Amino acid sequence: MDVELRGITKRFGSVVANDNVNLTIRAGEVLGLLGENGAGKSTMMNMLSGLYSPDEGQILVDGKPVEFDGPGDGIEAGIGMVHQHFMLVPVFTVAENVVLGVEPTGKMGYLDMKRARRQVEEINEKYGLHVPPDELIEELSVGIQQRVEILKVLFRSADVLILDEPTAVLTPQEVHEFFGIVNTLKEAGKAIVFITHKLHEILEISDRVSVLRQGRITGEGYPKDLTEADLAEMMVGRPVSFTTAKNTATPGRTMLELEGVSMLDETDDRVLDNVSITVRSGEVVGVAGVQGNGQTELVEAITGLERIASGKITFDGENISHASVRERHKMGMAHIPEDRHKSGMVDSFTIAENMVLNNYYAPEYSKGWAIDWQKVAETAARYCVDFDVRTPSVFLPGGSLSGGNQQKMVVARELERETKLVVASQPTRGVDVGSIEYIHERLIGSRDEGDGVLIVSSELDEVLGLSDRIYVMYDGRIVAEFDNTDGKADRNTVGLAMAGSFGEDAA
Amino acid sequence: MSEHKDLKSVNEKMRSLMARTTHGRDDFEDLVIVPLFAVVVALVFGALIMLATAVDIPTIGRSFVALAVGSVGSLSAWSETLTAAVPLVLAGLGLGLGFRAGLFNIGAEGQLLMGGLAAVIAGFSLDFLPMVIHLPLTLLIGAAVGAGYAAIAGILKATTGAHEVISTIMLNLISFELLNWLLRQPWIQREGRSDPISKSVPDSARLPQLLDWISPNFRLHAGVFVMLLAVAFIWWLLFRSKVGFAFRTSGENPSAANYAGMKASLVIVLAMATAGALAGLAGAAQITGVLGRASPGFSAGIGFDAIAVALLGRSHPVGILFAGILFGGLEAGGRQMQVDAGVSIDLIGIIQALIIVFIAAPLLVRAIFPWGFRRSSKKEDAA
Amino acid sequence: MSDVTMTNQTQAQKLDSVAARKARIMGGILIALALLVIFVLHVVPGESATFRLTTRRDAIQIPDLVVPGAFNYVAAALLAFLGVRQFLQGGARWTSLSLGVGLAILVMAFLVWATAGKAFNLTSMLQAAVLASVPIALGGLAGVMSERVAVVNIAIEGMLLAGAFAGALIGSLLGGWIGLVAAILVGGSFGLLLAVLVVTFRMDQIIAGVVINLFVLGVTSYVSSQVFSEYRFLNNAKVFRQWEIPFLSDIPVLGPMLFDQNLFVYGAFILVGIATYYLFYTKNGLRARAVGEHPRAADTLGVDVYVTRYVHVTIAGMVAGFGGAFFTLGNVGRFEENMTNGRGYIGLAAMIFGRWHPVGALSAALIFGFADSIQRKLALLNTPIPSEFLAMAPYIATIIVVAGLVGRSRPPAADGKPYVKE
C-alpha cells in the first residue's frame, strides 16, 4: 500500500507545526524521517493515524484521497502507529492489549480470550516476534513491550507502520535485533516510516530519507548519497559538530562516593543492588544504561529523594547516607532532574519563582520569615541573561517557555549556585540541538571549575561525548566501568555491557 | 561567556526582564466576568426551581426583592450580612489555603464545631480572667482545637496516604456525635437543662458589639476585625512567606516540592492545621460574637458553605473576602426572604451550589455565554 | 579497551525492608489490642454471654450459643500470639491476614463483653447487618463503575439522597415500582450531570462531586420543607416488604440473613454479580477498564473515551439511585432531610477497601453494615458505652480502612484525571 501526503499544513493557534509538507510512503520500503524535537514529525504522523486532521492538504491512500476524523480511522485504512510513549495498559496482559478495540467475542459480549491468544500466537510466528501472550505488560522489558506495540498494529492488518523514535529505549544490541524485525516486515511488503533524530540509524536502516525542520521538508535523498554531516545540516539548518570541545580532565579529591548502596521498592524488590561508585572533583562521570535499570533510583539515592536500605554515601568527606534533600542541597549538590515537568519546575509559577524553587529559603533571599521577591527577581533576570533563557519577562509562567528554554532555566538554577557536585539526569531530553550544545558546554564548564559532574543518560552518545569515566548500569547493578579519557571507550563494548551480556571473560 | 557583552546592555536586558507584566484580559475574565455570570445564572435557576415547586410569579418577585433588601438594603441588613460573613470568610480562608496546598478539606464543619465548643469551655471555665486576656485566649484556644482536629486528617494523609476527603467527612460525622455527647456532660451542660445545651460564655470572653449603640438588634461584632486581620495574614503567608511558597509548590506539583527539599508530610500537616485553626477560629468567633453558647448543630452548615466561598474566591484571600460577603448577603437576604415571601431558606443552599458549579467549570460558563469572552484560542484546547 | 572493573555480588545483606517495618507496626497494634481485651473488655469470671441463633417461629431450631467469659482470656492470648509473631518474624507473610483475624477476634471479644450475663439475638443482628450494608454496597458499586473509567465519584452521597427523594415522592404518587424506576432515573440523571461536568467541561472531579452533593441536599431539603411539610401525602410511599425465598430461608442463621430480605438486598447481590461479569469477562468491560487505566491507549485504538465515561458514570448514577431508594422504599417509606447521612462516602471507602472490585466492595460493605448493626443492637443492651460513641463506630471504621489499606490497593491509573483529546 502506498500513502501520499500532499501539501499538508497544520497549525496550533499561531504555531505552524507542519507547513505544506509533501511525502510519499511506498510498500516494501523503509522511509527514514529525520528531525529535531519539535520539528513537526509527530504532528505529521498523528495526522496519518487520524489523531489530528490537517488544516490544508490531502492524504491519499493508493492514489485515492481519504479523510480521517478519529483516532481509529487511520488504523482502519491500514496505517498503524507505534508511539514513542507506548500505548499499552500496564495491568493488562499482552493478549488483552493486542485485541483491545477489535476483540473476538462470543455470546452476550463475552470476551473470547482463548481465540485472542491463538491469534496473537499466529502473528508471533509469522514475523518472529516471540512475545508471551499471557504476561502482564508491566512485567515485560521495554524491548518486548515495543514488540507488543508492533504486534498490535499487525493484528489490525496494517500495511503501513509508523515507528516513532523506536530506538530511544533500546540498547545498541536490541536496536540491531529490532532492525532485523523491520527488515522482515519490509520483506513482507509493509511500508515503514522510521522516525528518529539519530543520524547513524537513519543511514543504516532507511531506503530513502526525508528531513523535517520547523515544519517543512528541508531535504530528501538516498542514504548512499548522504553523510551524517549532510543530514545534520539539513536537520539543524547550519553545520553542527556533535563533539563537545573539552580538555583532558584533571581529577582532584573524591567528591562523591557510594559504597554498597542498595535500595528497595514498595514490593521489596532490589532496585539498586550493592552499587559502589566514585566521582572526583574536576571529572565528568557518565552512567550509561537502558532506561529502567536503576538510574532513576541511583539519582534518588544520591540526592536523598529516596531512603537507601543499606550502604553508605559520602559527599566531600561527610557521610550523607541519611541526610535530607535540603541538607545535601545546602552542602553544594546540584541536581538537574530527569523530567523537568514532573519535578524540576512548576509550570504555573513565574520564571522568578522557578529560579529559586529549591533555594528560596537561602539567606540572600530572606526577609525574616518572608521571601525578598525583589531580590529573587533580580537574580532570576541575571540567570536568564547568563544562560540565554529567552523570555520577555521573569514574571511570566515557566510553562510559557519552550522546552529548550525551560531546561536552560532549570540548568541555570542548578549551576549558578556555588556547587561542588552536579548530578545531571537526562540533561538534554526533549531539547533542541542549539540548547543541547549550550547545556553540554556549561556542564563541562562546571567540571573545569572543579566540580564533580555525574551525568546519567539513556543517550549513549551523550554519555560517550561528555564523560571522562563511564559506569554501566544493568538491572540495578553497576556491571562495568570504562576509562573514557580522550574518548577511548569503545561504543560496542559499552553497548554490550548495557545489555547485561557482559561476562567476566570480557575483562 | 559574558565578558564580551557590554555591561550596560546586560543591565538594560535585566531591567526589561524585570518589568511587571500587566494583567491581561484573561485575568479579568477569570476574576470578574465568570463570577458575575455565575451569580446571575444561579439566581435564574433559583427562580426556575421556585416555579417548579408551585411558587407563583409575584411571590418569586417578592422573594428576590426581599433577598436584595435583606442583604444590602439597610444598615441593619449590612450588619447582618457582615455578621454572617465573618465565620464564612475565616473558614473559607482556611479551605482556600488548603486548596492552594493541594488539600481538599471538607472538614471545616467539624473543625468549626470543635473550635467553637472549645471556645465555649474556655469561656465559662476561665471566667476569672480579665477581658484583655480572656477574649484573645478564648479565640486562640478555639483556633488551637480546630487545628488539632484538622491535624488528625493531615497526619493520617501524611503517614498512611488516607485521602483527606473521606477522612475529613468522617471526622465531621464523628464531631457531630462528639458534640452531642459533650453537651450532655454535667461540666458543660447548662444547669437545670435536660436538653443538650452548654453553659453561656461570660461577657469577658464575648466579642464586643459594634453597633449596639444604634439599636440592640444590630448584631455586628468585633469579629469583622479578626476577619480582616486574617485576610491580611493569609495573604502574607501564601504569597510572601517561605512556608507559603512550600504550600503553593506542594499544591501545584507535589513531586517538584519533593525535589525542592520540601517535606511533603510536614507541609500536609501544617497546611491542614492552619486550615483547621482558621475554621476553629470561625467557630470561636461565632460563639463569642453571636451565639454565646453551644447547642447541637450550631455550626449551621457554615463549614460547607465555606467550601463554596473558597472556590468562589479562587482560593485568594481577597477573593475569599468578597465571596464571603456575597454569601453572607445571600444568608441574610435568605432569612428575609423566608419571612417576607415564605420561601424556604434551603433555596439559598441550591443557589450557592449552582454558583460553585459555574465557578469551578469556566468552560461551562463560556458555553452558556459565548459572548463576553474572547474566542478561546485553539492552543488552549490542544494544551 | 582499557581498565574494566567487574562488580560482582550477591552477598546477603540485612536490609531494612518495607514489609518488615509494616509487620512490626502490625505486631504492635495486635499486642495493643490484646492489652485492650485484657484490661478493658474484662468479663467477670463465671458470667457468660448467650447468643440466640433462632427464634421460636423458625422451622429448624438450633440451640443457643453460650460463650463463657473466659473466652476473652483466650482471645487476648490469641491476639498477643499473633502480635508477637509479627513483631519477631520481621517481614513475615500473612501480615494483613493476621490483622484481619485479629480484628475479628476483637469483635468477638467485644460482643462477649457486651453481652456478658445477658442474651442477645445474633441472627437478627446479622440480618440487620446485611440490610444496613445494602446502600453502602450499592454506593460502592456505583463507585466501582465510575472509577473503573477513571471518574472519581464523590457524588454518590448526593445520588443516594436523590434516589431516596425520588423514590419517596414518585412512590407516594404512583406506587412503589414506578417510584423505584424514578429513583433509578433520577440517580442516572445526576450521573449524567457529573459526566457532563467532568468529561465535557473538565471540572475538577472532586469539586463537581461535592457540588452535586450540596445541590441535591439543597433541593431535597428545600422541597421537603417547602412542599412535604404541607402536603404529607406526597411523602408517604408503600414500602417493599420482605420476600421469603422458600426452603432457602429456612436454613438457620444464613436463611434469615440472605433469603428473607427485601428486593434491595437481592438486587444488590445480583447487580454485583452482573457488574463482575461485565467488567472482567466482556468486550465492553475490557474497554471500560482500558479507559480507566490508559485512556490515550484506548483512544488510539478507536475506543471512544468520552462516550465510555458518559455511559459508565450514568450507570453508576443509576446504581446509586437504586441504592438510594432503599432508604425510603426499602425502609421507612418517608423522606427526611439528609437521611443518607454519609452512607455514600462510606460506600466510597468500601470501594477502596474492596480494591475497585464489585465483590470486594460488597464484602467491605458487609463489614460496615456489621459495624452499623452492632451499634444499633448494642444500644439496646445497655452497655456502659454512650450511644454517641457507638454511633461513631462505622465512621471510625471507615477512617481505619482508608488509612490502613492505601498502599496495598491500587486505583485505576488514570483515576481522577480528565482526558483531553489531542
Helix (H) or strand (E) run with residue C323 in it: helix C305-327
pLDDT value, residue B278:
96
The residue count of chain A comes to 507
Contacts of A276 in chain C (CB under 8 A): 7
End-to-end Cα spacing for chain C: 48
The domain ranges of chain C are 18-117, 125-405
Give the best residue of A303, A369, A416 to mutate against chain B (max B CB count within 10 A). A369
Average pLDDT over residues A455-473: 90
The answer to whether residue B383 scores a pLDDT higher than 80 is: no
DSSP code of residue C260: E
The answer to whether residue A176 scores a pLDDT higher than 70 is: yes
- The CA distance from A97 to A93, in Å, is 6
How crowded is residue B171: how many other Cβ atoms within 10 Å of its Cβ? 27
- The CA distance from A267 to C91, in Å, is 11
C-alpha angle C30-C32-C38 in degrees, rounded to nearest 5: 105
Band of the pLDDT at B377, cuts 50, 70, 90? very low
The string of pLDDT tens digits covering residues A361-381 is 888 888 888 999 999 999 999
| β-pair type (A310-315, A318-319) | antiparallel
The answer to whether residue C15 scores a pLDDT higher than 80 is: no
pLDDT value, residue C10:
38
Answer left, alpha or beta for residue C163, where phi above 0 means left and psi between -120 and 50 means alpha: alpha
Assess B367–C contact: CB distance below 8 Å, yes or no.
Answer: yes
The answer to whether residue C402 scores a pLDDT higher than 80 is: no
CA distance C203 to chain A (A): 18
Band of the pLDDT at B27, cuts 50, 70, 90? low
- The CA distance from A391 to A389, in Å, is 6
Are C197 and B178 a contacting pair at CB < 8 A?
A: no
DSSP code of residue A66: E
Average pLDDT over residues A50-77: 84
With the C-alpha atoms ordered A271, A277, A280, A283, is the resulting torsion angle positive or negative? negative
- The CA distance from C288 to C412, in Å, is 11
Are A262 and C15 a contacting pair at CB < 8 A?
A: yes
The answer to whether residue C13 scores a pLDDT higher than 50 is: no
Percentage of chain B beyond pLDDT 70 is 91
Contacts of B259 in chain A (CB under 8 A): 305, 325, 335, 337, 343-344, 357-358
Average pLDDT over chain A reads 87
* ipTM reported for the complex, 2 dp: 0.81
The answer to whether residue C8 scores a pLDDT higher than 50 is: no
CA distance C204 to chain A (A): 17
Are A346 and B382 a contacting pair at CB < 8 A?
A: no
pTM, two decimal places: 0.83
- The CA distance from A92 to A100, in Å, is 10
> C358 near C289, Cβ under 8 Å?
no
The answer to whether residue A83 scores a pLDDT higher than 80 is: yes
Assess A106–C contact: CB distance below 8 Å, yes or no.
Answer: no
**What residue of C is the nearest CA neighbor of A88?**
C297
**What residue of A is the nearest CA neighbor of B253?**
A346
Are C392 and B160 a contacting pair at CB < 8 A?
A: no
Q: Look up the CATH architecture of domain C125-405.
A: Orthogonal Bundle (1.10)
pLDDT value, residue C17:
64
Are A393 and B20 a contacting pair at CB < 8 A?
A: yes
The string of pLDDT tens digits covering residues C280-339 is 999 999 999 999 999 988 988 888 899 999 999 999 999 999 999 999 988 888 888 888
CA distance A466 to chain C (A): 18
Average pLDDT over residues A168-194: 86
End-to-end Cα spacing for chain B: 36
> B106 near C210, Cβ under 8 Å?
yes
The string of pLDDT tens digits covering residues B337-346 is 888 888 888 8
Q: Count each helix (H run) and each strand (E run) in chain C, helices first.
A: 15, 5
pLDDT value, residue A420:
92
Contacts of C90 in chain A (CB under 8 A): none
Comparing C-alpha atoms, which of B298, B271, B304 is closest to residue B284? B298
> C368 near C346, Cβ under 8 Å?
yes
- The CA distance from A160 to A191, in Å, is 5
Band of the pLDDT at B247, cuts 50, 70, 90? very high
* DSSP calls for A381-426: HHHHHHTT---S-TTSBGGGS-HHHHHHHHHHHHHSS--SEEEEES
In chain A the domains, ranked by start, together with CATH numbers, are 3-236 (3.40.50.300), 241-332+420-507 (3.40.50.300), 341-417 (no CATH)
Band of the pLDDT at B175, cuts 50, 70, 90? very high
Residues within 8 A of C (CB atoms), B 111-170 only: 156, 160-163, 165-167, 169-170
The answer to whether residue A149 scores a pLDDT higher than 60 is: yes
Band of the pLDDT at B229, cuts 50, 70, 90? very high
Are A325 and B242 a contacting pair at CB < 8 A?
A: no
pLDDT value, residue B5:
52
Taking CA atoms, C196 is separated from B377, C146, C189, C209, C313, in Å, by: 22, 13, 10, 12, 10
Helix (H) or strand (E) run with residue C33 in it: helix C18-39
**What residue of A is the nearest CA neighbor of C290?**
A89
pLDDT value, residue A106:
82
CA distance B102 to chain C (A): 12
* DSSP calls for A237-250: SS----S---PPP-
- The CA distance from C270 to C268, in Å, is 6
Answer left, alpha or beta for residue C363, where phi above 0 means left and psi between -120 and 50 means alpha: alpha
The answer to whether residue C407 scores a pLDDT higher than 60 is: no
What is the identity of the amino acid at B84?
A: A
- The CA distance from B9 to C85, in Å, is 73
Subunits with 3+ Cβ pairs within 8 Å of C are A, B
pLDDT value, residue C286:
93
The string of pLDDT tens digits covering residues B59-115 is 888 888 888 888 888 888 999 999 999 999 999 999 999 999 988 888 899 999 999
Band of the pLDDT at B371, cuts 50, 70, 90? low
pLDDT value, residue C29:
82
Helix (H) or strand (E) run with residue A7 in it: strand A3-12
The answer to whether residue A506 scores a pLDDT higher than 70 is: no
Assess A87–C contact: CB distance below 8 Å, yes or no.
Answer: yes
Nearest to B18 among A14, A358, A394 (CB): A394
CA distance A99 to chain C (A): 9
Comparing C-alpha atoms, which of C275, C283, C280, C301 is closest to residue A112? C283
> A320 near A327, Cβ under 8 Å?
yes
Comparing C-alpha atoms, which of B68, B40, B35 is closest to residue B309? B35
Average pLDDT over residues A249-275: 87
pLDDT value, residue C7:
40
Average pLDDT over chain B reads 85
DSSP code of residue B114: H
CA distance B31 to chain A (A): 17
- The CA distance from C243 to C251, in Å, is 15
- The CA distance from B42 to C211, in Å, is 13
Average pLDDT over residues A336-354: 89
Comparing C-alpha atoms, which of A166, B101, B161, B24 is closest to residue C411? B161
pLDDT value, residue C174:
87
pLDDT value, residue B28:
67
Give the best residue of B5, B6, B17 to mutate against chain A (max A CB count within 10 A). B17
Average pLDDT over residues A324-350: 90
Measured torsion, CA atoms of residues C262, C266, C267, C270, in degrees rounded to the nearest 10: 180
Nearest to A384 among B2, B17, B263 (CB): B17
Subunits with 3+ Cβ pairs within 8 Å of A are B, C
Nearest to B350 among C201, C219, C398 (CB): C219
